[in-house]
Amino acid sequence: MELFDVYSFFDVTPVKAKGTRIWDDKGTEYLDLYGGHAVISVGHCHPRYVTAVTDQLGKIGFYSNSVRNPLQEELAEKLGELSGYPDYSLFLCNSGAEANENALKLASFHTGERRVIAFKGAFHGRTSGAVAVTDNPKIRAPFNSWHEVTFVPMNDIAAVREELSKGDIAGVIIEGIQGVGGIIIPDDNFMRELRQATLEAGVPLILDEVQSGCGRSGKFFAHQWAGIRPDLITMAKGMAGGFPIGAVLISPDFEPVKGMLGTTFGGNHLAMAAAIAVADIIKDENLVQNAYEVGEYLKSRLLSLASEAPSTPGGGNAPGRTFTRIGREAQGAQAPFADDGKTIEIKEVRGRGLMIGVEFSGPIAELRRKLLFDKHIFTGVSGKNMIRLLAPLTLTKDDVDIFIKALEEVL
């Protein structure tokens, strides 16, 4: 049997990791600025994490949700404190897609409706409902296409209100920051208007914080920059240091009914040990603040590769946010990078905390390849023109300096 060939990957085989570093099977050391899709929030193989998971494995690794598991209650208490949602309930599952699937189901139960409002550029997962609210027809099979979903432009409150006025909306789902869509940050005023519009319509607002949660944005959840409280919040990636997990935070307005949701593996003992360790590390090592401070430093260093330029309209330079367009005329002495014979230059830097996108004026495939194989730095991508940085929240300013030097040399 062979593996089903659905992934494009680099010919690198990691065999060891520690903190922000990875080593391959040839002994080469890499700086990890991608964290395995924003999963490695507290750094690779943190000693407290390793101890917690291995100790738990020596006790009990799994049993079903037909018995009490006090670790679930402990995690719920810690997440409530960390996130600022102690009055919400917690449903545990296994992935971000599954979390979004259950949030959509809860919203539909609550309203009795089936149509969902989602946003252009959205990515919410690959399961049936989650992929239906993902704005990418290429990954949506005919089987997934019967869901009733309306995609509206980001930051267009008039379009949202128009759809809400039709009275058939089960819920509205939006990412705290669009990751796959290109580090697109919803405008804070729009988020406040969206919350108000959904409240007026009696429609649940679902915040997908799968990638932007767990402190990545410099607040525990990215939507907290706008000062709003949604009805349902989904999370997953950074929760458990790489152990599969997902969760839905549920407003007190939702009444649980036995059997309405369920899972075999969700909330298992090993996942709970991993997630509790991550929550404790985030709190004790002040990693949310570190994400903010080091993220601001990283953005400033990226912008230092080019001359200062005014912000684009609507982007602003509010705390924790950078959305700066760099014109060709502002590049100063920076040498442009040639990919397939075409010159590319930094076009925009945007993001919050350690969720940062560096958009170039052309394809970055060769630039990213050189960073990996010549400079030994892992980065991510969004589309063809953007490098996406989702480093562990333990990233240091020294790590940033290593990356900036490497990027400058490649450019």
- pLDDT digit string, tens, across residues 180-203: 999 999 999 999 999 999 999 999
Q: Are 93 and 224 members of one domain?
A: yes
The CATH number linked to 392 is 3.90.1150.10
Domain edge (last residue) among 284, 313, 348: 284
CB distance 35 to 392 below 8 Å: yes
Last residue of a domain, one of 284, 315, 334: 284
CA nearest 172: which of 206, 222, 121? Answer: 206
Q: Same domain, yes or no, for 186 and 121? A: yes
Bin 177: left if φ > 0, else alpha if -120 < ψ < 50, else beta: beta
Alpha-carbon separation of residue 392 from 7, 108, 109, 331, 336 (angstroms): 23, 35, 37, 30, 29
The contacts of residue 23 (CB under 8 Å, 6+ apart) are 14, 15, 16, 17, 29, 30
Q: What is the mean pLDDT of residues 361-376?
A: 95
Binned at pLDDT 50, 70 and 90, residue 343 comes out as: confident
Cβ atoms of residues 170 and 114 within 8 Å: yes
54 and 28 in a common domain = no
Do 224 and 364 have their domain in common? no
d(CA 292, CA 210) in angstroms, rounded, equals 18
Asked if residue 221 and residue 165 are part of one domain, the reply reads yes
CB 49 within 8 A of CB 41: no
Q: How far is 49 from 262, CA to CA, in rounded Å?
A: 27
% the chain with pLDDT above 70:
91
Give domain status of residue 4, yes or no.
Answer: no
- Output the domain CATH number for residue 118: 3.40.640.10
Q: Are the C-beta atoms of 265 and 94 separated by less than 8 Å?
A: yes
103 shares its domain with 179: yes
- What are the φ and ψ backbone dihedral angles of 291, each rounded to 5 degrees? -60, -40
pTM for this model (two decimals)? 0.92
pLDDT band for position 372 (cuts 50, 70, 90)? very high
Which pLDDT value is given to residue 335?
45
Determine the Cα angle at 298 with ends 293 and 300, to 5°. 95
Residue 6 in domain: no
Look at residue 3 and tell me if it is in a domain.
Answer: no
pLDDT reported for residue 241: 96
Residue-number span of the structural domain to which 232 is assigned: 47-284
Of 74, 152, 85, 146, the closest CA to residue 118 belongs to 152
Q: Does position 326 have pLDDT exceeding 70, yes or no? A: no
CB 398 within 8 A of CB 53: no
| Model confidence band, residue 336 (pLDDT cutoffs 50, 70, 90) | low
Residues 244 and 352 in one domain: no
Sign of CA dihedral 11, 31, 352, 102: positive
Looking at the structure, do residues 219 and 323 belong to the same domain, yes or no? no
Final residue belonging to a domain, choices 256, 284, 312: 284
pLDDT at 44 over 60: yes
Whether 198 and 266 map to the same domain: the answer is yes
Same domain, 279 and 240: yes
Window from 89-93, 251-255, 303-307, 346-350 with minimum mean pLDDT = 303-307
**299 lies in the same domain as 277:** no
Q: How far apart are CA 161 and CA 147, in angstroms?
A: 21
> Closest by alpha carbon to 298, among 348, 354, 346, 337?
354
Span of 115-124, 204-213, 342-351 with lowest mean pLDDT: 342-351
pLDDT at res. 342: 63
Residues 186, 301, single domain; the answer is no
3-state secondary structure of 267: coil
Q: Which of 2-11, 303-312, 369-378 holds the top average pLDDT? A: 369-378
pLDDT, mean of residues 31-53: 98
Q: How many CB atoms lie within 10 A of CB 296?
A: 18
